[in-house]
A and B are shown apart, each in its own frame.
Chain A
Amino acid sequence: MGDSQIIQISNLVKDYAMGKQFFRALHDVNLSINTGEFCGLVGPSGSGKTTLLNIIGALDNPTGGDIIIMNNSIKDLKNKQAAKLRNESIGFIFQTYNLLPVYTVFENVEFPLLLLKKSKKEREEAVMRALEWVGLSDKVNSRPNQLSGGESQRVAVARAMVKLPRIVLADEPTANLDAANSHNILQTMLKLNLELKTTFIFATHDEKVIRYLRRKVALSDGNVINDIIMN
């Protein structure tokens, strides 16, 4: 694995407080992911996919163990450093798109670049390029409430990709989309994965997604029960 390894998960444990008790959502997960992988965390509802993805994305803290992501130890990251890591290196795609409702398509996609303090020219070029990838160049001035679900998710993909992150984390990105839109989105992501060597990690139980994966990490009750790499 060596230098192409981008994420190293070791002995990861996550407990959720449930009143006085704890619920263990992840039991001692060990996993290593390489640059450019197109892989998915698969498993039934409640198996811990979202939990694991959130910790990888530094949106949540592990209870035990650690994740080394691009030489950063997640458990040691301060809030500010975690925000910086997300800002610079990770793109997120959510099941519910999570576009900012008061912004136009352009502004939504531009947002991560504003946080990165890119120049106006850089931003414009990058946004238009990203919208071209997802085929929405003609919707720059639309607002999220004027878009279909498929279009919204494509905007979200553009927003995740616009800064050319090393890693994209996508939690059930197709759950609200029909088959045609799901394939469309996945093909776009696959293309970007091949062209830009972006590492994609999905959390999904959608067969349509699973068919595209080159690696399937099966979770069950917080344990990795299977790890299949295709070729």
Chain B
Amino acid sequence: MLLLKLAFRNITHAGVRTWLNIIVLSFAFVLIVLTEGLYDGMLQQVRDAEIDSNIGGGQFWQKDYDPYNPFSIELSHSEIPANLKMEIEKGNATAVLITSASIFPRNHIQSVQFKGIDPDQKIVNLPVYILKNETDSSIIPGIIGSRMAKSTGLQADDIVSARWRNINGTFDAGDIKIIKVINTEVKSIDNDQIWIPLKKLRDMMQAPQQATLIILNKNISEIPINNSEWIFKDHKYLLKYLNENIDRKRIYSTFMFVLLIGMALLAVFDTQVLAIFKRRKEIGTLMALGMTKWDVIVLYTLEGCIMGILSFIAGFLYGFPLLTYLAKKGIVLPQIIENTQFSILRILYPKYGLKLYVLTSLILFISVTIVSFLPTHRITKLKPSDALKGKLT
């Protein structure tokens, strides 16, 4: 208790150096929370976007459908079971028909997927209603994502030739008019695919009533069906790849975390080593006045701890309003691309859980304590008489 009081007195009476340290530490604290929060926020946004614009509340897959096997795709469609049809009519789900096809932009051949979707659907957040703008029924309207636009050189209003097979395996060909290029961070609705009105694609494939997958409304997580043709895939399954990807990327944020903590700790360590070097005589004096070596060690370690605590308080004082503001307003990423209606990650909203605060504080606090303690260990080897002479052996 006395030592705590003395440590506090030492810290508050000491000069600029302490306050500098406190500022550095508080910066680290705020920055760590911010970077981690940005990361969490981004991941959350990516996940939400994926759910929002692609997987909904879960999907029923036609049993042969395997998104990673292009050869399966032409074969993987069936008639929609009656109860799912009912859910679609009730607005609780929407059907997607998928087939592989080739397009010929700039006289090259490129493999793509056609995805047929109801332009009136409200299940996933895709601006497919725009497909209805094309009134000429002889034209096949299509929507592509910006990645696809980049890789093919296609732009809105371009016409591209396409070739596909109908349900009987016979080739058919036609022109697709690109109605719109959409910006999306969700790769799985962008890469190598063209969104086409479902009815149109069914006609093209001569496959009425058929679908490859049924996307459920976000708020519905399961519909029992009794049909071996269709298999339900839940979030856990559908987000598996994304989650794995995210976990891999976590390493970067962990690296950042370690780097920031390391920098902060170096500052503390440095001051502490210097302080003990400079304060040898003081250490000797304290011992002459009746403190034990351990008293001095505890005193100096406590000084480090208090520095840590003060930096949390400082960090909280300016960090909390700042971080809250950023979480509300979001951080606008520099490469602003036009047509932001459906671009999700142009603005990043950091998200900080209590866990983040507590964990960061705890880790920082413990490491500051350890780092404050380590250099004081030399004191145990110090004889009071030597310390008084300014020696440090």
Query: Residues of A at under 8 Å CB distance from B?
Result: 54, 57, 59-60, 79-80, 83-84, 86-88, 92, 94, 96, 98, 100-103, 107, 111-112, 114-117, 159
- Does A102 lie within 8 Å of B383, measured CB to CB? no
- Does B285 lie within 8 Å of A98, measured CB to CB? yes
- Residue of B with least CB distance to A93: B288
Set of chain B residues within 8 Å of A83, measured between Cβ atoms: 287, 290-292, 295
The contact size tier of chain B is 20 to 34
B383: shortest Cβ distance to chain A, in Å? 6
CA distance A113 to B185 in the complex (A): 68
Set of chain B residues within 8 Å of A86, measured between Cβ atoms: 287-290
B210: shortest Cβ distance to chain A, in Å? 82
A107-B9, A117-B2 known; A59-B291 Cβ under 8 A? no
**Interface residues of B, dominant DSSP:** helix
- Does A111 lie within 8 Å of B289, measured CB to CB? yes
- Does B384 lie within 8 Å of A84, measured CB to CB? no
- Residue of B with least CB distance to A117: B2
B71: shortest Cβ distance to chain A, in Å? 78
- Does A59 lie within 8 Å of B10, measured CB to CB? no
Set of chain B residues within 8 Å of A59, measured between Cβ atoms: 284, 287-288, 383-385, 388
Set of chain A residues within 8 Å of B282, measured between Cβ atoms: 98, 100-101
A169: shortest Cβ distance to chain B, in Å? 9
B354 within 8 A of A: no
A102-B9, A102-B10, A114-B6 known; A92-B292 Cβ under 8 A? no
A91: shortest Cβ distance to chain B, in Å? 9
Known: A83-B290, A87-B291, A98-B288. 4 other contacts (CB 8 A): A107-B9, A114-B5, A114-B6, A115-B291
Contact with A along B356-393 (1 / 0, CB 8 A): 00000000000000000000000000011100100000
B13 within 8 A of A: yes
Contact with A along B338-365 (1 / 0, CB 8 A): 0000000000000000000000000000
B281 within 8 A of A: yes
CA distance A107 to B5 in the complex (A): 12
25 contacts between A and B (CB under 8 A): A54-B384, A57-B288, A59-B383, A59-B388, A60-B383, A60-B384, A79-B292, A79-B293, A83-B290, A83-B291, A86-B288, A87-B289, A96-B281, A98-B282, A98-B284, A98-B288, A98-B388, A102-B10, A102-B13, A102-B14, A103-B9, A103-B13, A112-B289, A114-B2, A115-B289
Residues 271-306 of B at the A interface (beta carbon under 8 Å): 281-282, 284-293, 295
CA distance A84 to B295 in the complex (A): 12
- Does A60 lie within 8 Å of B385, measured CB to CB? yes
CA distance A88 to B291 in the complex (A): 11
A27: shortest Cβ distance to chain B, in Å? 19
Set of chain A residues within 8 Å of B287, measured between Cβ atoms: 59, 83, 86
CA distance A101 to B384 in the complex (A): 19
Contact with A along B1-28 (1 / 0, CB 8 A): 0100110011001100000000000000
CA distance A84 to B289 in the complex (A): 9
A52: shortest Cβ distance to chain B, in Å? 11
CA distance A86 to B295 in the complex (A): 14
- Residue of B with least CB distance to A81: B292
Set of chain A residues within 8 Å of B10, measured between Cβ atoms: 102
Set of chain B residues within 8 Å of A101, measured between Cβ atoms: 282
- Does A115 lie within 8 Å of B384, measured CB to CB? no
Set of chain A residues within 8 Å of B293, measured between Cβ atoms: 79
